[in-house]
Structure 1
Amino acid sequence: MNIELAEYDDAWPGLYERERARILAVLPDADLEHVGSTSVPGLCAKPVIDMMLVVEDAADEEYVPALEAAGYRVTVREDDWHDHRILKGPDTNVNLHVFSRGCAQVRRHLVFRDWLRADSGDRELYARAKRELAAREWERVQDYAAAKGEVVLEILERAYMTWRPSSGEVEYVTKTPPHDAPVVLEDYNPVWPRWYAVEEARIRAALGDVVVRLEHVGSTSIPGLAAKPLIDVLLVVPDSADEDAYVPALVEAGYWLLLRERGWHEHRLLKRSEPNVNLHVISPACEEWDRMVGFRDRLRTHPEDRAEYERTKRALAGRTWHRVQDYAEAKAAVVERIILRALA
């Protein structure tokens, strides 16, 4: 199979706008974006208009009948990959990608597009890689797409590190003034999953049906990885900003509210000291679920990534940090790299 690339065509944005109007006629509140190479002025591309539709739940397909009425048809269902759906357009070569709100793939597509629009060096790097790969013979177009993965990840890593979302102002409910904080790592301890199991039972008993999702994340959730002896728990509740719905019950169970980050997904952090627990609370449509769980699962299944992360942690742990957050920030590049691999 030959991959045919076309030079950038000024008609592509107009084709997107025409399809956008067609979809908005049947889904007036649709959240749509032009993504992929045809959305980047000056970039060569296969002449396929990639569009992204963000819905509340891609898997339930409530949106499909309306799109079928507009001439679209479902061609791909990936229930094991973010419930991703692809629909084809009626009379233009269109791929309409559908993701659920809060899926980390949404920001991944937008960050990649916006970075290539803004950075001429990486835009040209990507174009060269595409041309070199398009000159080869491919059994499937998916193989060509997979072969681009290395350069895509290289570009995305730069983009994510430059355009990382700010957490905004952190409101400390319990004061923890900055202090020189040595980071002490311990070799993996098989007792850590048991500590998590006790905390899971405690949280579920306290909150009942308020628990939407609950997972052990962070380094203590990864067998074989050195870590601070700190159990990170990720809790999803219906609305993390509605503290009355869950904070009093967790306080009764022995936690205390440490901080609020209203500008960063309405994240709340609660603590327990015996054992040392960080309880992160988010709402359902929050990409941090995909990112934190994806990071954990990648490290559990890819020893080379686990070794890379441990080397980084041990090198940084030898320093003294003004704040533990500074240690976490110093790890950010390798963390983002591994998350991007998990999301690929």
Structure 2
Amino acid sequence: MNIELAEYDDAWPGLYERERARVLEALPGAVLEHVGSTSVPVLCAKPVVDLLLVVDEPLVEGSYVPALEAAGYRVVVREDDWHEHRVLKGPDTNVNLHVFPRGCAQVRRHVIFRDWLRSSDEDRELYASAKRELAAREWDRVQDYAVAKNGVVLEILERAYSAWRLPSDDVEFVTDDPPHNAPVVLAEYDAAWPDLYAVEAAKIRGALGSGIVRLEHVGSTSVPGLAAKPLIDILLVVPDSNDEDAYVPALVEAGYYLRLREHGWYEHRLLKGVSPKVNLHVFSPRCEEVDRMLAFRDRLRAHDADRREYERTKRELAGRTWARVQDYADAKTRVVERIILRALG
């Protein structure tokens, strides 16, 4: 089969607005975005209007599907193992309504890609050229054409993510370390690191009990075979990271101390432990950064080439001297984003 691309049609935004109104009538207050190529002026596209709908839990279809079915939509795709993704088709327009959970990193991925193509003439033309070249080939399935675009999509997304920043980088230090030259020392992977995590996890569970939504070993010490700073990174999800009274005093009693607050970065809190060295990252549920941290860890665990690429970057950067360890972490951003994008697919 051939892929038929159409030149950009000024009617596409209007079709999106019509479908948006229909969805909002069925689901008042829903979070919706126009994504995909029809959302980018001037860009050629398959004449399919892609909408992105955010719900709390796509797996709980009873909370949104019946209302959409009453409006004429029907579920055509269920991907429980891929971000709980659902696709519904529209009643009288060629529409794909993509459903993702709140806090899923796929939402930002789609929006950043759209916004970057809207603003970058060069990358928009690069993407259009790749689409035209691939569309001229014969494909067994439309999905095969989509997969073939992944290379150029990831190339463009890497530039988009490198340029993108959260609205605020406000950091409030609770306990301050004085500025100092900080050589980064990497250790070879130590099979004891998972055991150290298990001890810390038991300590945290003992302190917080049912106040834990999720607890995970993350960071480089969670990836077998990967060289790392000998520092155990732990991801803790609590009902509300902003409600420090619900978890900070108990964790301080267990031997941790509150290092910093980042109000502009998902209300992130960082607590530290001294022996062993621990970074305890605290977030609320349905937070995109939780999704990203776990996707990065799991990708490194499963893909040797990505693990080697990341380790090469770490070793090269560790050979330098940094004013702050955070500067070393920031220097890894591009390769980290690249690997996360591969993980998100």
Q: Same fold (TM over 0.5)?
A: yes
Aligned-partner residue type, residue 114 of structure 1: D
Query: Which SS does the other structure have where 2:59 is aligned?
Result: helix
1:176 aligns with 2:177: yes
Pairwise CA distance, 1:177: 2.1
2:84 maps to: 83
Pairwise CA distance, 1:166: 5.0
Pairwise CA RMSD of aligned residues? 0.7
Aligned-partner residue type, residue 48 of structure 2: V
Aligned-partner residue type, residue 53 of structure 1: L
Pairwise CA distance, 1:165: 1.8
Distance 1:262 1:177 in 2: 22
List aligned pairs for 1:284-323, cutoff 5 A.
284-323=285-324
1:35 maps to: 35
Distance 1:328 1:196 in 2: 21
1:73 aligns with 2:74: yes
1:195-240, CA deviations, whole angstroms, 9 ceiling, x for partnerless residues? 0000111111110111101100000000111000000000100000
Pairwise CA distance, 1:71: 0.3
1:264 maps to: 265
Aligned-partner residue type, residue 146 of structure 2: A
1:244 aligns with 2:245: yes
Q: After TM superposition, where is structure 1 displaced by more than 6 Å over at least 4 residues in a row?
A: none
1:286-342, CA deviations, whole angstroms, 9 ceiling, x for partnerless residues? 111111110011111111111111111000101110000000011111000000000
Pairwise CA distance, 1:41: 0.3
2:46 maps to: 46
Question: TM-score with structure 2 length normalisation?
Answer: 0.99
Aligned-partner residue type, residue 35 of structure 1: V
1:9 maps to: 9
List aligned pairs for 1:207-218, cutoff 5 A.
207-218=208-219
Query: Which SS does the other structure have where 1:58 is aligned?
Result: coil
Unaligned runs of 5+ in 2: none
Pairwise CA distance, 1:167: 4.7
Distance 1:106 1:125 in 2: 23
Distance 1:185 1:296 in 2: 18
Distance 2:170 2:177 in 1: 15
1:90-147, CA deviations, whole angstroms, 9 ceiling, x for partnerless residues? 0000000011110000000000000000000000000000000000000111100000
Distance 1:91 1:54 in 2: 22
More deviation, 151-160/17-26: 17-26
Pairwise CA distance, 1:164: 2.6
Give the 3 Å change call, closer, same or farther, for CA 24–166 of structure 1 in structure 2.
closer
CA contact (8 A) 2:166 2:264 kept: no
Question: TM-score with structure 1 length normalisation?
Answer: 0.99
1:219 maps to: 220
Distance 1:167 1:192 in 2: 34
Give the 3 Å change call, closer, same or farther, for CA 307–167 of structure 1 in structure 2.
farther
Aligned-partner residue type, residue 174 of structure 2: V
2:120 maps to: 119
Pairwise CA distance, 1:192: 0.3
Distance 1:176 1:64 in 2: 51
Aligned-partner residue type, residue 95 of structure 1: N
Distance 2:308 2:165 in 1: 25
Pairwise CA distance, 1:168: 2.1
Distance 1:141 1:338 in 2: 25
More deviation, 122-131/54-63: 54-63
1:23 aligns with 2:29: no
2:186 maps to: 185
Pairwise CA distance, 1:56: 1.3
Distance 2:165 2:294 in 1: 19
How high is the sequence identity, in percent, across the aligned residues? 77
Pairwise CA distance, 1:23: 1.0
CA contact (8 A) 2:86 2:99 kept: yes
CA contact (8 A) 2:171 2:261 kept: yes
2:138 maps to: 137
Query: Which SS does the other structure have where 2:10 is aligned?
Result: coil
Distance 1:13 1:281 in 2: 39
List aligned pairs for 1:267-282, cutoff 5 A.
267-282=268-283
Query: Which SS does the other structure have where 1:43 is aligned?
Result: coil
Number of matched residues? 344
Distance 1:24 1:310 in 2: 47
1:334 maps to: 335
